[in-house]
Amino acid sequence: MSDYNKIADDELVLLLKRGDPLAFAALYNRYQGLLYIYASKIARDFDIAEDLVQELFVYLWEKRDTIQFNRSVSSFLYTSIRYRFLNLVDKQVVRSDYARSFQLFLDKGEFSVDNYIEEKELNRIIEAEIDNLPSKMREIFLLSRRLNLKNLEIAERLGISEKTVKNQLSLALKLLRERLGLVNFIYLYFFFK
């Protein structure tokens, strides 16, 4: 590995494109810390910064044979972090717009007995689907959604890694989205406690 640390970026990219894991590790070691600092500055959130950097390196490994480095490796990596952050912001804006639209609908609509019954039925369906999650996943999901615990707090409470918590939450949301459909999932995501 020490020999790889002396290799120039362009040569590491050629080795990476051939599937060399040591070349990937050398690039990771060379840029991960710097990218994390950069991502922390633009995101102003350490967890988001860490996710952005990890996702970029996963992408780099998975797409290694098709990625075109038209500029220097460092320019590519920094630009990729910036675009990933902007995409994240765009998704949050869309999510916020959906929540506002749904709340506006609720505020303007007449809440009759029928609406109340429909909401209770929807809550019952959501509860049933949450109960159908695997037990550890359900526990993590409920700690996150009901007690509003952060991933690190859940990890410490359950004696597992923060990455496991994140993966379990992501999988739980994916399963619930598949089982509930989009409209019910949006209700779950924004209004169900």
pLDDT digits (tens, 9 = 90+) for 105-164: 555 554 444 555 556 666 677 778 788 889 999 899 888 877 888 999 999 999 999 999
Report yes or no on whether pTM surpasses 0.75: no
Q: For residue 78, what pLDDT is reported? A: 87
Q: For residue 112, what pLDDT is reported? A: 47
Model confidence at 57: pLDDT above 50: yes
Under 8 Å between Cβ of 77 and 35: yes
Alpha carbon of 132 to those of 76, 89, 135, 151, 186: distances in Å? Answer: 43, 32, 8, 22, 19
| pLDDT averaged over every residue in the chain | 79
Model confidence at 79: pLDDT above 60: yes
Residues 6+ apart with CB under 8 A from 77: 31, 35, 56
**If one looks up domain 4-87 in CATH, what number appears?**
1.10.1740.10
Q: Report which of residues 27 and 185 the model is more confident about.
A: 27
CATH topology (fold) of 110-191 = Arc Repressor Mutant, subunit A (1.10.10)
Q: For residue 106, what pLDDT is reported? A: 53
Under DSSP, the state recorded for 2 is T
Q: Report which of residues 58 and 91 the model is more confident about.
A: 58
Report the share of the chain in percent with pLDDT over 90. Answer: 28
Mean pLDDT over 73-94 rounds to 78
Domain boundaries, the chain: 4-87, 110-191
Model confidence over 6-17: pLDDT tens digits?
899 889 999 999
Model confidence over 88-98: pLDDT tens digits?
776 665 555 55
How many angstroms separate the CA atoms of 180 and 50, rounded?
31
